Structures are given as structure tokens and as C-alpha cells.
């Protein structure tokens, strides 16, 4: 097996070859994907090589930063403690890799005395001669004290209560992030450890943090029990630990007490403005808070393409803002669901603008409230205005999943697929359960002719779709994304099984049926089946899906001039106009 794995974007192959050859000249066994055997599955070989490598050299560039598969390989290496980073063109590593040191080979042409090359070589040599137990990443802490808040375990004996334990974790992470003297690992990085049995000291070494917070939540009726412990990352000893056994009405007090206790245990000075910021919640109502957490979970894990998801979110958030009219987060989430009902399903009524403006009136920094405003402008074809809204929102919060998703929508609506994948890759990196964005990456990379990136995205999409199906076997959206990914990876037999399963379990999910049709058109070159699936779909589809089929979707380019397709689209447009 190779000792060194080289990860790179296809456009950077000449530089990758130079690096690989130089490492080989130093006596290392080097592997990159030009050596893929013809008789084995791509994904299987890549994973095997990554896991066996003593060092994974990731060559970052503008193109590599946009490649979900380079990110995926870098992330696995980061978890293994084998990551070595290089920038080829001055591009900084994307999140969360920007916290790890990076060598520069911008002007390197092979000279062994180059400082960047010597730095790369020293890191590779160190890892190649290190045992797995002594490896760690090079994330450089920006402050003396740093904490990783691991996902609190749901001990309620009810998987449906997962939303609550995740919500508690996120809120404590947010609270601690407001303390200027404390560095807190991003939620998306910490949640990569969710559901895993981890050694706290290993996590601390891996993330280069001084402390780790872990805990559990047990919610039963009106009572909640939260256990939390702050652990020294170097010694594994408990710095602070406490169990709270209270009424649910005390949930905000518990969160405040945990945050204050951690600050005190670390002997951090809390500024008055920071103390006030920690104690500020979106609501003071426990009932409204619980409803919002449920709504947020419905939105994140629900069946995309099933209007019941949006209807549930609207009902839950409406009740939350009835209880607390000043709950900006609930107004913003409701606005997003209302927008999807209006434009995604053609439901008359609220378009989300009023709710979004209400959220911004309460909290002008509420970035998520910009998403419905951008969506409305996109649907009206006001692309420049939408781009301005998205740019302003990303300036406030460059890590907003919702804003990046609207950014992808803005570009895919204009068939600007190269720009769309930049936002979609960000979405996939920000939310570890987001299979739908990964599925869209599969389609767009196919349209762009980037087979390597397409297969990499397919592997991620399939893994996430399978995870979603373990929680909801009837999730038609996950079935359609998974089927497309399986077909892309060459497993047509299983892909067809998933198509058949989806049509039996969720026949009214128009998005799913449409995705199955596009698979037949783009991957299986079967226009007859594609048209047969499309006919009943377009007969019920909203204007949004009809426009997608008529003008935008690259997957149906091959059948767009078919007379039968044109007739179906024309009839669907007439139906929508008459309604």
C-alpha cells in the first residue's frame, strides 16, 4: 500500500504530478488517482487508499476548494490526523480546514530548497514516521483557551427527542462563542463526532483544543435532566461537572448556568456585554422554544418534495409566534416554509415576505430572514436584486446554509452551473445531513462533464441519503437522491430497486418522480421511460417545476425537443395559467 496519498482537483493535475514525483524521489511511496485499477469500484479504492495512507497531501486551489470530493478526502484525513495542506495558487483552505497550517507552493517549480516544499516535506516525513497514536492535526489555536462542545447524547429513550438534545448543544455552542477570550470549535465540526464513541483526549488532540464539553439530555414530560462535564483535553480529568434535574420551565436558566460555569471554571473574564449577550434568548417562552426546535428539525430532516413538511413547519411556527410575537427565529423559519409552499407547490396565500420582514424588524441581524426575500426576487426574475440580498446576507454570516442555498438557486435558475456548485458545496460542508444539495451537485457536475467530481458527490449523497432512510424509510426525496447516486456509481441494479421502492412508497411526491424521470433521460438514455414518468408529474406540477423542466434542468436536455415533451409542458403551463 502507498504511504502518501495526494488529493487534488482535476485542473491541478500537472502540479499534483510534480509533487507526487518529488515525494517519490525522496523515497516515499506515493499514490494519486491516476493509478485507479480498471477492475475495481472508484469509491472503494479511494477510501481504501485514504485510510491506509500515513499522510494525505491536499493541494488546495480555487478549483480544489470548490470540489466536494477534495473536501471529503481532506475531512477524512483531518479525522485520521494525517492531513498535510498545500496551497498552489494562494487560495486559503476552506472551513474548517483554515485552522490547520498550510504550506505554500505558489511559485514552486521543483526546486528542493524552496521553503514551502521543505515545510511540506517535513510534515510528510513526520507523519510517515509517526505511530497512529502520536498523530495530531496542526490546527493552530488563536486563543489560549479553546473548547469543543460535543453533541449532547439523547438519553430520553425516544429517537424523536433528538431535536431537543441537538438544540441544547447548538445553543450552548452559540453562547460560548460570544466569549471573546474563548475559542469555540464550529458546530458543524463538532457534530461530525455525533453518535460516535470517542476518546475525549483524542478529540482534543485532533482539534488542538484545550478542553472538551460533553453531556447528555433526558427529557420526560415536564422534566428535563441535563448532565454536563468539562474535561481537560490533555489529562482527561474533569475540570467541572454537574447534573441538572429540573422542570422544563427552567431550561433557559440551565443553559445560562452551564455557560457561566464553564467560563468560571476556565477563569475567563466575561465582559458585561458578553454576559448580556449570553443571557439574551430569542424567546423567554419554553413552549415557544420547544415548538421552534421541533419545526427546525422537521425542516432539516423532512421529506423534500412533500408539502406536508412545509405545512407542519408553518403550523408549528405560527403557534410559536402566537405564544411569543417577538420570536424572530420562528418568524424567519415560517417565512422560509411559506415561500416554499408558494413557489415550490403553487399554494396560494402567504409568500413569506411579510413574515421575513417581521423577523428583520425584531432582529435586523437575522440572516435567515433574507432567504425568503431572495427567493421571491429569484422567482420574479429580478436576479440582480436577489444577488444583492444574498451578498449582503453572506457578509453578515458567510456560513449561512440557507443563504448559500438561495445562492445556488439564483445561479442554477440562469443555468450558471459552475457558480451554483460553489454554493452547493458550501451547503454540503455546513450541514452534515444535507443530502439534497449533494444530490444537486451530482446532477450539475454531470452537466459540466466533471466525472470525477460527479462520482465524489455521489458517494457523499448516497451516504447521507442512506442515513436519512434509516430514520424515515419512506423519504421519497432521499430515495431519489440515493438512486441517482447509485446509478452514477455504476450500481444500476440497486438504483432501479430504489426507483421502484420510491414509486410504491411515495407516489405523490412530484419532486421524486421528476428526479426519477431525469435519471432515465440523463444517465440511462431511456427517453420513453423518462417521458412516461414525466407525463403524470407535469400534469400536477407547480409552475416552479414546470419552468425547471422547460428551460433549466440539464438532465432533460436530451428530450427537451421531443414533441411529446413539448406537448406536456404546454399543457401544464396552460393548466397553471387557468388556475
Are 223 and 358 found together in one domain? no
Whether 339 and 445 share a structural domain: yes
CATH number of the domain enclosing 27:
3.40.50.10140
CATH number, domain at 161? 3.40.50.10610
Over residues 217-245, mean pLDDT: 88
- pLDDT for 99 equals 61
On whether both 229 and 366 belong to a single domain, the answer is: no
Q: Measuring CA to CA, which residue among 552, 543, 433 is closest to residue 481?
A: 433
Query: CA 169 → CA 186, 258, 285, distances in Å?
Result: 11, 11, 18
Residue 49 shares a structural domain with residue 182: no
Confidence of residue 213 (pLDDT cuts 50, 70, 90): very high
Distance, in Å, from the CA atom of 394 to the CA atom of 249, rounded to the nearest integer, reads 35
Grid coordinates of 231: 474535561
Distance of alpha carbon 82 from alpha carbon 123, whole angstroms: 10
Do 129 and 157 lie in a common domain?
Answer: no
**pLDDT value at position 132?**
38
Let me know whether 277 and 293 are in one domain: no
% of the chain residues with pLDDT over 90? 35
Confidence of residue 453 (pLDDT cuts 50, 70, 90): confident
Looking at the domain assignment, is residue 140 inside a domain?
A: no
Quick one: pLDDT at residue 62? 83
Q: Would you say 102 and 47 are in contact if contact means Cβ atoms under 8 Å apart? A: no
pLDDT in tens, 113-163: 777 887 888 788 777 764 433 333 444 444 468 899 998 988 877 766 788
What pTM value is reported for the model? 0.65
End residue of a domain, out of 496, 518, 543: 496
* 40 DSSP assignment: S
Overall domain count for the chain: 4
- Both 231 and 304 in one domain: the answer is no
Q: Is residue 339 part of a domain?
A: yes
Q: Where does the pLDDT of residue 179 fall: very low under 50, low under 70, confident under 90, or very high at 90 and above?
A: confident
The grid coordinates listed for 135 are 498523530
pLDDT higher than 70, residue 545: yes
Domain identity same for 216 and 318: no
CA angle centred on 462, ends 458 and 467, rounded to 5°: 155
- What end-to-end distance do the CA atoms of the chain give, in Å? 64
- As a three-state string, the secondary structure of 153-164 is EECCCCHHHHHH
What band does 39 get if pLDDT is binned at 50, 70 and 90? Answer: very low
pLDDT at 516: 96
Is 469 part of a structural domain of the chain? Answer: yes
Residues of the chain with pLDDT > 70: what percent?
91
- Determine the pLDDT at residue 142: 44
Is the Cα dihedral 191, 196, 202, 206 positive or negative? negative
* Residue 502 covered by a domain: no
Pick from 69-83, 208-222, 489-503 the range whose average pLDDT is largest.
489-503
Res. 279 pLDDT band, cuts 50 70 90: low
In this structure, the answer to whether residues 479 and 516 fall within a common structural domain is no
Which of 281, 300, 335 is at the close of a domain? Answer: 281
User: Cα–chain-centroid distance for residue 187?
Assistant: 11
**For residue 252, is it within any domain?**
yes
Answer yes or no: do 384 and 488 share one domain: yes
Quick: pLDDT tens for 240-257: 998 988 888 888 888 888
Q: Where is mean pLDDT largest: 19-23, 108-112, 434-438?
A: 434-438
Distances (CA, A) of 333 to 185, 314, 410, 477, 493: 25, 8, 20, 21, 39
Question: Looking at the domain assignment, is residue 139 inside a domain?
Answer: no
At 133 the pLDDT is: 38
Quick one: pLDDT at residue 140? 45
Confidence of residue 276 (pLDDT cuts 50, 70, 90): low
Q: Are 539 and 572 in contact (CB under 8 A)?
A: yes
> What is the pLDDT, as a whole number, of residue 579?
67
Q: Using the structure block, give the residue that is written with the C-alpha cell 458585561.
A: 272
Last residue of a domain, one of 134, 167, 193: 134
Summarised one tens digit per residue, pLDDT across range 280-331 is 668 889 899 889 988 888 886 667 777 888 999 999 999 999 999 999 999 9
3-state secondary structure of 419: helix
Look at the alpha carbons of 90, 91, 95, 97 in this order and tell me if their dihedral is positive or negative. Answer: negative
At 17 the pLDDT is 86
CB neighbour list of residue 194: distance below 8 Å, 6 or more residues apart: 151, 432
Statement to judge: residues 161 and 108 lie in one domain: no
CA–CA dist 183, 555 (Å, integer): 45
Say which residue, 516 or 167, is predicted with more confidence.
Answer: 516
CA atoms in the 13 A half-sphere facing the CB of 10: 13
More confident residue, 434 or 213: 213
554 Cα distance to chain centroid:
23
Residue 243's SS3 state is strand
Phi-psi region of 385 (alpha: psi -120 to 50; beta: other; left: phi over 0): alpha
- pLDDT value of residue 35: 57
What are the start-end ranges of the E strands in 437-537? none
In this structure, is residue 152 part of a structural domain? Answer: yes
Range of the domain at 51: 4-134
- Taking all residues of the chain, what is their mean pLDDT, rounded to a whole number? 84
Question: Quick check: is 501 in a domain?
Answer: no
Assign residue 433 the CATH number of its domain.
1.25.40.10
Both 246 and 365 in a single domain?
no
Paired with 30 in beta bridges are: 4
* pLDDT tens column, 56-110: 899 998 888 877 778 878 888 877 778 888 988 888 788 777 667 788 888 787 7
Amino acid at each position: 500500500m502507498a504511504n502518501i496519498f495526494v488529493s487534488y482537483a482535476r485542473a491541478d493535475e500537472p502540479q499534483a504530478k510534480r509533487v507526487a514525483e518529488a515525494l517519490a524521489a525522496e523515497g516515499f511511496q506515493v499514490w494519486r488517482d491516476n493509478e485507479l485499477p480498471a477492475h475495481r469500484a472508484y469509491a472503494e479504492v479511494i477510501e481504501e487508499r485514504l485510510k491506509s495512507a500515513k499522510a494525505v497531501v491536499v493541494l488546495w486551489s480555487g478549483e480544489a476548494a470548490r470540489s466536494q470530493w477534495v473536501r471529503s478526502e481532506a475531512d477524512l484525513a483531518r479525522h485520521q490526523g494525517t492531513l498535510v495542506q498545500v496551497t498552489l495558487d494562494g487560495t486559503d483552505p476552506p472551513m474548517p480546514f483554515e485552522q490547520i497550517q498550510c504550506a505554500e507552493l505558489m511559485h514552486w517549480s521543483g526546486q528542493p530548497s524552496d521553503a514551502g516544499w521543505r515545510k511540506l516535506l517535513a510534515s510528510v516525513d513526520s507523519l510517515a514516521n509517526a505511530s497512529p497514536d502520536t498523530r495530531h492535526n496542526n490546527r493552530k489555536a488563536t486563543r489560549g483557551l479553546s473548547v469543543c462542545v460535543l453533541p449532547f447524547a439523547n438519553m430520553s429513550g425516544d429517537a424523536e427527542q433528538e431535536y431537543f438534545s441537538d438544540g441544547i448543544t447548538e445553543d450552548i455552542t452559540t453562547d460560548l462563542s460570544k466569549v471573546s477570550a474563548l475559542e469555540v470549535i464550529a458546530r458543524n465540526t463538532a457534530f461530525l463526532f455525533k453518535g460516535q464513541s470517542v476518546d475525549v483526549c483524542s478529540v482534543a488532540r485532533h482539534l488542538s483544543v484545550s478542553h472538551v464539553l460533553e453531556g447528555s439530555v433526558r427529557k420526560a414530560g415536564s422534566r428535563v435532566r441535563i448532565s454536563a462535564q468539562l474535561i481537560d483535553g490533555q489529562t482527561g480529568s474533569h475540570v467541572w461537572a454537574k447534573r441538572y434535574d429540573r422542570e422544563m420551565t427552567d431550561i433557559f436558566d440551565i443553559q445560562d448556568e452551564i455557560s457561566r460555569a464553564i467560563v468560571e471554571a476556565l477563569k475567563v473574564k466575561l465582559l458585561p456585554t458578553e454576559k448580556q449577550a449570553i443571557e439574551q434568548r430569542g424567546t423567554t417562552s419554553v413552549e415557544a422554544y420547544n415548538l421552534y426546535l421541533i419545526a427546525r428539525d422537521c425542516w432539516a430532516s423532512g421529506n423534500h418534495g412533500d408539502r406536508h413538511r412545509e405545512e407542519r413547519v408553518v403550523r408549528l411556527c405560527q403557534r410559536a409566534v402566537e405564544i411569543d410575537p417577538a420570536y424572530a427565529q420562528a418568524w424567519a423559519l415560517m417565512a422560509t416554509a411559506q415561500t416554499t409552499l408558494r413557489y415550490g407547490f403553487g399554494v396560494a396565500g402567504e409568500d413569506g415576505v411579510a413574515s421575513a420582514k417581521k423577523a428583520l424588524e425584531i432582529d435586523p441581524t437575522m440572516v435567515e430572514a433574507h432567504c425568503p426575500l431572495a427567493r421571491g426576487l429569484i422567482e420574479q426574475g429580478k436576479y440582480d436584486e436577489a444577488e444583492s440580498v444574498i451578498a449582503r446576507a453572506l457578509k453578515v454570516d458567510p456560513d449561512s446554509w440557507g443563504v448559500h442555498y438561495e445562492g445556488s438557486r439564483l445561479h442554477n435558475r440562469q443555468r450558471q452551473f459552475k457558480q451554483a456548485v460553489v454554493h452547493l458545496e458550501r451547503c454540503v460542508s455546513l450541514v452534515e445531513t444535507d443530502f439534497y444539495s449533494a444530490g444537486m451537485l451530482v446532477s450539475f457536475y454531470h452537466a459540466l462533464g466533471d466525472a470525477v467530481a460527479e462520482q465524489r458527490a455521489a458517494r457523499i449523497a448516497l451516504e447521507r441519503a442512506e442515513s436519512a432512510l434509516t430514520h424515515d424509510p419512506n423519504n421519497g426525496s432521499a430515495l431519489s437522491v440515493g438512486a441517482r447516486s447509485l446509478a452514477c456509481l455504476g450500481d444500476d441494479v440497486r438504483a432501479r430497486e430504489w426507483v421502484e421502492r420510491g414509486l410504491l412508497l411515495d407516489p405523490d411526491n412530484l419532486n421524486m418522480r421528476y428526479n426519477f424521470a431525469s435519471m432515465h433521460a440523463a444517465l440511462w438514455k431511456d427517453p420513453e421511460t423518462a417521458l412516461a414518468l414525466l407525463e403524470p408529474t407535469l400534469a400536477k406540477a407547480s409552475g416552479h417545476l414546470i419552468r425547471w423542466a422547460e428551460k433549466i434542468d440539464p438532465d432533460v436536455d436530451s428530450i427537451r425537443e421531443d414533441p411529446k415533451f413539448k406537448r406536456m409542458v404546454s399543457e401544464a403551463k396552460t393548466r397553471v395559467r387557468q388556475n
